[in-house]
Structure 1
């Protein structure tokens, strides 16, 4: 598998590490607390056949700029960093695609900078805190797998964890979010390896409790595609339905045989939906 091209981008807000792959119109992909490298990312890989994908390591992740102030790790400040990267790369507009907390960033991006977006693709995400009011969420204490998920997350934050142990725990954690956990190795068969950025995750865990932008969804003017697995235990499908009802130019696709990873669990259908949407709104993608 072709590796991703690493670049350091100097911006008005500091230097950021990005990884680039694919050809076509530019598409930004990131996740709020993942740390990427040249092996790429499963979600980002989905788009490389039709776009030039810019996979971004956010502040404190990889070789990207450090946070001089705590607020620089916030979701809103992260959007300003992405805008600075777009500007430095010379793109008047680009697409944005995000999964999970990356999708939450996509919601904020659309609210505050729709004028910079060709479109956004938001997968398995929410526009507000998703744990407290949904027993279907694995981060809700009443969910049967709540405790084991918490244990896995805390273990993965440890800096001294061996690579073998990190891989083992990460696989166990991911299996909790698959409709067919026995297919984990089949889904995650590529030589892709990434880490969790602990300092970003810790900040997010606090910020999430006051996160709610549902009343601002009407300000998203760029076309948006909202995608979610019917059985998503991280950001339950009700939150995707809520978003599409409030975003003016949004489309919704629910994947009936998927949990939190429809781009792997129903890969062909996921790609078909994405290509149909991007061709419809921009005419940029090719089959």
Structure 2
């Protein structure tokens, strides 16, 4: 497997570790609390055949800048960091792609900086807190697998967890969000490894309880591709439908036999839908 090129981008807001791969128009990919490395990322790899992808380690992850104040871990501050990276790379505009909480970042990015975006890709995401009123969400206390998911998340936050145990628990956690868990090895067959940033996830959990930008969705003017698995247990389909209704210049693709990872579970169809969207803009 060809590893991603590693760069430390110097910005007005600190230095950020960025991994680059692919050719074409630039696209930024990140996730609110993942820590990436030179092995890349499954979601980001989806776009390397059509675009030059910049996979960003956010503040407090990898070799990126540390947070001097807790508020620097917030979603809006993270967007300020991404804008600084874009400017440092010399782009007047780039695309953005986010999966899950990465998509939540994309929503904030589109609301405040659509002028900086060629396009916006939001996969399995939501514009508001998605657990309290959604029994079909695995983060809702009434979901039958809620307790096990919470146990896995808290255990995976432990920094000294043995690699074998971390890999086993990560696989179990991921299987909870697959339409067909028996295909895990087929979907995740590459030597891609990433970590969870406990400090960023803990901050996100506090920010999430008051998160709701649904009334600002009309401010997103960049072309937006919204995708969601019909059986998504993390950010249920209803939230993607809400995004599509609120964002005027958007395309919605729903994947019948996918859970939270349609770009892997229905890879060929996802690529077809993505290319159709790209050609339309």
Bin of the TM-score, shorter chain as denominator length = over 0.9
Q: State TM-score, norm by structure 2.
A: 1.00
Please give the residue correspondences for 1:117-196 in structure 2 after superposition, counting only pairs within 5 Å: 117-196=117-196
Residue of structure 2 in register with 1:285 after alignment: none
Residue of structure 2 in register with 1:250 after alignment: 250
Residue of structure 2 in register with 1:229 after alignment: 229
Q: In the aligned structure 2, how far is the partner of 1:100 from the partner of 1:279?
A: 24
Please report how far the alpha carbon of residue 196 of structure 1 lies from its aligned counterpart in structure 2 after TM superposition.
Answer: 0.3
Please report how far the alpha carbon of residue 218 of structure 1 lies from its aligned counterpart in structure 2 after TM superposition.
Answer: 0.4
Q: Secondary structure at the match of 2:212?
A: coil
Q: In the aligned structure 1, how far is the partner of 2:16 from the partner of 2:102?
A: 17
Please report how far the alpha carbon of residue 248 of structure 1 lies from its aligned counterpart in structure 2 after TM superposition.
Answer: 1.2
Q: In the aligned structure 2, how far is the partner of 1:90 from the partner of 1:35?
A: 24
Residue of structure 1 in register with 2:95 after alignment: 95
Q: What is the RMSD computed on CA atoms of the aligned residues?
A: 0.4
Q: In the aligned structure 2, how far is the partner of 1:279 from the partner of 1:149?
A: 39
**Per-residue deviation, residues 213-243 of structure 1 (Å, max 9, x unmatched):** 0000000000101100000000000000001
Please report how far the alpha carbon of residue 279 of structure 1 lies from its aligned counterpart in structure 2 after TM superposition.
Answer: 1.5
Q: State TM-score, norm by structure 1.
A: 0.98
Q: In the aligned structure 2, how far is the partner of 1:196 from the partner of 1:164?
A: 15
**Per-residue deviation, residues 186-211 of structure 1 (Å, max 9, x unmatched):** 10000000000110000001100000
Q: In the aligned structure 1, how far is the partner of 2:247 from the partner of 2:46?
A: 24
**Per-residue deviation, residues 39-85 of structure 1 (Å, max 9, x unmatched):** 00000000000100000000000000000000000011100000000
Q: State the 4+ residue runs in structure 1 displaced beyond 6 angstroms.
A: none
Q: In the aligned structure 1, how far is the partner of 2:74 from the partner of 2:242?
A: 23
Residue of structure 2 in register with 1:51 after alignment: 51
Residue of structure 2 in register with 1:263 after alignment: 263
Count of residue pairs the alignment pairs up: 281
Q: Secondary structure at the match of 2:96?
A: strand
Q: In the aligned structure 1, how far is the partner of 2:90 from the partner of 2:67?
A: 24
Q: In the aligned structure 2, how far is the partner of 1:126 from the partner of 1:214?
A: 9
Please report how far the alpha carbon of residue 150 of structure 1 lies from its aligned counterpart in structure 2 after TM superposition.
Answer: 0.2
Unaligned runs of at least 5 residues, structure 1: 282-287
Please give the residue correspondences for 1:177-216 in structure 2 after superposition, counting only pairs within 5 Å: 177-216=177-216
Q: In the aligned structure 2, how far is the partner of 1:15 from the partner of 1:165?
A: 32
Q: In the aligned structure 1, how far is the partner of 2:276 from the partner of 2:107?
A: 21
**Per-residue deviation, residues 247-282 of structure 1 (Å, max 9, x unmatched):** 11011000000000000000000000001101211x
Q: In the aligned structure 2, how far is the partner of 1:24 from the partner of 1:250?
A: 22
Q: Secondary structure at the match of 1:210?
A: coil
